[in-house]
Amino acid sequence: MATAIKRQYTDLTGVDFKNDETLVDLNRSPDALNIYKEYDGEGNCIRTRPGYEKLGEFGDIIYGIHFFSESVVLVHSGENLYLWDNFPSEPENPTVLKNDMNEHKSISFIFEDNLYINDGLNYVVYNGTTLADVSSIAFIPTTSIGRSPSGGGTQYQDVNLLQPKRINTFIGNGINTVYYLDASDIDDVISVKVDGVEVTNYGVNKPIGRIFFNDAPPPAPSISGVDNVEIVFSKNVAGYNDRIQKCTVSQVFDNRVFFTGNIAFKNTIFHCELNNPTYVSDLSYYQDGTSESAIKSITVGNNILWVFKEPNQENATVFYHVPQTDYEAGRIYPSKQGNVSTGCTSDSINFSDDIVFLSKYGLEGINGDIEQEQLLSHRSSLVDNKLINTSNFDKASMCEWKGYLLILADNRIFLADSRQKFQGINGIEYEWYYWELQSTSPSLLKEYKGNLYIGSTEGDIYILKGTNDDGEIIYSYWTTPMDAFGYSNMLKTTNKRGGVARIKTIPNGKIKVAERTNKRDERLITEKSSTGFDYNNIDYSNFAYTTKNESYIVYKIKEKKFLNISMKFYSDELDKPFGLYSMILEAFVGGYVKR
């Protein structure tokens, strides 16, 4: 008598593109599309992903979506920076705040209620009313204090890279009429004040940096430490402002902003002064490794600034900076080299306290004790076959959304689930899901307060929401592995009464069931194509829907003398999502395979 075997596919997770589909674990899928795991508190099911709805059209590729508030967004589209002040309603004649933006992905951060944006050409700030170049409002440092007319005094603050102005303060003596600045070859004198009152009775020798008063300024007050002559002048140093304006990467850390990504300073990180993004000292920078390889990304985790460089021959690609307090210099961030030689191809992120970056092999995570060892652990073995073979993988970007790490490469999104992990060969790995966006060409993803926004190369902005892709069908499916029921050398016959699936009840939802065996579509199985199978739809009349959170469907499959079988649960109709908890399939094991 034939032996009956019941297969239960439960605790469903994501995809496995790594193994032959006959070797995939029963709770994973060798071929699933546009599915993710929904965590809704009523039992976790896999289901059709949300669709996306268009919010606005801007006419050119979206390089940046920058939130000032819940209703005010600055959109970088082509060469324009737009003010969208009625977000998320459809923009009505959005104001062009700037028309010479760099055609490059832009980055931003909020600091003390101001929005700062870098695009590799500009560094601008928006305060809720106006947009300005940071250079126009940048902090003016007092570089020398307590100077006598002939010079000396105390060096006080460093030169600001972001603008050329400087201040010198002097102790007047009522005798000297010539005052020496702390710089020569100056551009201009902006203002001169004596005892707090601006005066004009002076001349300037710009090449030697001297001020000639018609009348000697009076003596300073007898109170120690009070200077009574203030001279504001400008001295432009070629390329200073470009050092920050041409950065393409920034990160807020330790109440400062760190900048990098300037191709002229490939291994350099700059940082602003404490709580002041408009002041970057010309001495506040660090160099990580040699200039032969560029810094690709910086990320903060565990009070450490992590620096990831592109692959190179020097075998030093990961550096880190731990804040320290120096008696003379104050807060410093010395560069330390990590024990990692795998380079970063595009991006890094702190994913739920896991520091990860993209290498040419996929997603890497850093494990170990920072002071003793840093072991690299691969996080994406289940999806590497697809992930690293996308045509623009070297330009892939990442963001976090609802506990998922999203990797955008071309029109594909790979999702790592922080709540589903397993022990891989070299450490902890994530379960993964896989989406394709068919009706748009995404240029970026942006998460804001739990919502996910998509910018497109066509100039549109979408929100992840709804049951269709801007009016188009979301084709979604989840397939079981090609299952031999534990007997790869023996034939099986299905029990047509043994098929049941537990599904999620979704308003207007619909689920279809299909199956295939080694006898069906044998050529396509050999090619292991993820699309193109001619699946056999099974008994849709048995679909059961209730008003409860879940229901069951019964499917009748009649297959004889097959080696292995795969089932497919899917939706291919407009606004018809599905959710799936588990399924059961029963078969009888028969005789051995014959030639």
What's the pLDDT tens digit per position in 453-486?
999 999 999 999 999 999 999 999 999 999 999 9
Position 42 scores a pLDDT of: 65
pLDDT at residue 167 tops 50: yes
Tokens of 564: 């292995």
Read off φ and ψ for residue 46, nearest 5 degrees.
-90, 145
Asked which of 25-34, 244-253, 545-554 is least confident by mean pLDDT, the reply is: 545-554
Task: Please enumerate in sequence order all residues whose Cβ is within 8 A of that of 552, keeping only pairs 6 or more positions apart, or say none.
Answer: 500, 501, 502, 503, 544
Asked which of 183-187, 202-206, 415-419, 517-521 is least confident by mean pLDDT, the reply is: 517-521
pLDDT at residue 50 tops 90: yes
Position 524 scores a pLDDT of: 26
Range among 45-49, 367-371, 487-491 with highest mean pLDDT value: 45-49
pLDDT-based confidence at 31, cuts 50/70/90? very high
Question: E strands within 10-84?
Answer: 32-33, 35-38, 45-48, 52-57, 62-67, 73-77, 80-84
- For 499, which DSSP code? E
Residue type (1 letter), 123? Y
pLDDT at residue 540 tops 70: no
Beta bridge partners of 444: 455
pLDDT at residue 530 tops 70: no
Asked which of 143-157, 217-231, 348-362 is least confident by mean pLDDT, the reply is: 217-231
Position 521 scores a pLDDT of: 57
Task: Please enumerate in sequence order all residues whose Cβ is within 8 A of that of 27, keeping only pairs 6 or more positions apart, or say none.
Answer: 9, 10, 11, 12, 13
Task: Please enumerate in sequence order all residues whose Cβ is within 8 A of that of 544, keeping only pairs 6 or more positions apart, or say none.
Answer: 551, 552, 553, 554
pLDDT at residue 387 tops 90: yes
Position 438 scores a pLDDT of: 86
Q: Give the residue from 1, 18, 46, 43 showing the smallest Cα distance to 479.
A: 46
HSE of 276, CA atoms in CB hemisphere, 13 A: 16
pLDDT at residue 537 tops 50: no
- Note the pLDDT tens digit of each residue in 268-311: 999 999 999 999 999 999 999 999 999 999 999 999 999 999 99
Position 534 scores a pLDDT of: 33
Distance CA 471, CA 575 (A): 9
Angle (CA) 77-78-84 rounded to 5° is 20
Q: What is the mean pLDDT of residues 501-529?
A: 69
CA end-to-end span of the chain: 23
Position 552 scores a pLDDT of: 85
pLDDT > 90: what percent of the chain? 78
Position 415 scores a pLDDT of: 98
- Note the pLDDT tens digit of each residue in 312-330: 877 789 999 999 998 888 8
Cis? peptide before 141, omega within 30° of 0: no
Position 430 scores a pLDDT of: 97
Distance CA 392, CA 385 (A): 14
Residue with tokens 């002559």: 229
Asked which of 62-76, 229-243, 290-304, 523-537 is least confident by mean pLDDT, the reply is: 523-537
Q: What is the mean pLDDT of residues 187-201?
A: 97
Position 223 scores a pLDDT of: 73
Within 10 angstroms of residue 71's Cβ, the number of other Cβ atoms is 12
Position 26 scores a pLDDT of: 95
- Note the pLDDT tens digit of each residue in 181-190: 999 999 999 9
Within 10 angstroms of residue 30's Cβ, the number of other Cβ atoms is 22
Position 543 scores a pLDDT of: 39
- Note the pLDDT tens digit of each residue in 340-377: 889 999 999 999 999 999 999 999 998 866 666 667 89
**Of residues 242 and 529, which shows the higher confidence score?**
242
Position 526 scores a pLDDT of: 22
Q: Helix, strand, or coil here: 364?
A: strand
Kindly calculate the radius of gyration of the chain based on its CA atoms and give it in whole angstroms: 32
pLDDT at residue 544 tops 70: no
pLDDT-based confidence at 592, cuts 50/70/90? confident
Give the β-pairing of 249-253 and 256-260: antiparallel
pLDDT > 70: what percent of the chain? 92
Q: What is the mean pLDDT of residues 109-125?
A: 97
Position 555 scores a pLDDT of: 83
pLDDT at residue 541 tops 50: no
